[in-house]
Amino acid sequence: MKIVHQFLVTIVICTIISCKKDIPSINETFTNNNVEAGFATSYVLKDDNTLWVSGSNNDGQFGNGNYISSLNYIKVADNVIQVSGGYGHTFIIKKDNTLWVTGNNLNGELGLGDSVNAKINTFTKAADSVISISCSNDFSFILKSDFSLWATGFNYNGQLGTGNTLQTYQFVKVAENIKAVSTGILHTLIIDRSGFLYATGYNGFGQFGNGLRIGSKSFITILDSVIAVSAGNAHSMVIRGDHSLWVAGSNINGQIGNGTNGELRTFTKMAENVRFISTKQSTSFYIDFTNVLYGTGRNLEGQLGDTTNSNIFSFKPIKNNISDISTNYNYSILKTTKDTISTTGNNEFGKLGDGTLNNREYFRPVLMF
């Protein structure tokens, strides 16, 4: 499917998913290296390429051959260079650039060709020559070494960018010359090798950032000179070439960070000197070049880690000396510059990895490298 060129004077969305430093990326400064927050499963990718998980394994997303959840981090795979977690499924890339998948497959999100095996609990090889991955709740994208982009799974809102809303159970090619992909909940965002940003799917809250509320079934061009992006539930974050942060879309929980809860349909500048961004639902984070973590948005379960359990409507400093951050619906996981993994927020299924089911409103160390 060819990308539809519709140049608009605005901005939009995409994100870089969890990525190990051995993988080609836009710029290592903007990639998340070691932590990933799936919906109810958290992931830690250590520097020795071992993958550790905690939380829900109800759909087999651990890939360790059973459906037993864990309150602590357990090792489930070796030779892993990248991980992405969806609602109940997991994608990993190994050192030889093979893609391995496990977990829920009801909507074809594993890309194995059918949904007969509604879920599997062992990592299964699904593709070769894969350099980047992004899993949403029930659909998935992979980027191959020839920079072709492939998608599979649920497509009711056109989030696969195939030009239609037909669900698919195997990977289909949707774009070429792409270097990054990010999945929101109902929309998908990509960056091509020239730095152009594209969007497809649902746009009911203006999350495309193009001033409209009209969605698309094909990728449309939004902005040039984009170096990093992150797609949330119904909002989007982007870093421009001057390292400024711009945000657009739904703002009901303060996730835009402009001091209000009003929706923004065009991108608005929120910060400068930004090196990394992360969002998935309605909580937004960025890290600046001094490694200070800032956050805003939904915080009713402590996912911002500022001890307040109240939504925040402007970006505020949360913690110093942070190298990586990942957040999902109601919790967050980070890595410090001293190689400590800390978590905060809702702890259903034990996804905080601290050995308990207790919720927490501050970042607590749970694992050392």
Is position 135 within any domain? yes
Is position 75 within any domain? yes
**Cβ atoms of residues 214 and 222 within 8 Å:** no
The pLDDT value given to residue 6: 34
pLDDT < 50 regions, the chain: 1-31
Percentages helix, strand, coil for the chain (3-state, rounded to 5) are: 0, 50, 50
Is position 6 within any domain? no
Global pTM reads: 0.91
φ/ψ (deg, to 5) at 55: 110, -145
Is position 316 within any domain? yes
**Cβ atoms of residues 216 and 245 within 8 Å:** no
The β-bridge partners of 294 are: 286, 317
Q: Which residue has the tokens 């959840």?
A: 69
Is position 226 within any domain? yes
The pLDDT value given to residue 8: 32
Q: How many domains does the chain have?
A: 1
The Cα–Cα gap between 14 and 298 comes to: 20
Q: What residues make up the domain containing 253? A: 28-368
The Cα–Cα gap between 124 and 360 comes to: 35
The Cα–Cα gap between 38 and 81 comes to: 17
Is position 207 within any domain? yes
Is position 121 within any domain? yes
Q: Which residue has the tokens 């902005």?
A: 223
The Cα–Cα gap between 93 and 19 comes to: 9
Output the six-digit token pair for 279: 């969002």
> What is each CA distance from 39 to 60, 127, 213, in whole angstroms?
13, 24, 27
Q: The CATH number of the domain where 174 resides is what?
A: 2.130.10.30
Q: What DSSP letter does each residue of 90-111 carry, written as one string? A: EEEEETT--EEEEEE-TTSTT-
Is position 1 within any domain? no
Q: Strand, helix or coil at 354?
A: strand
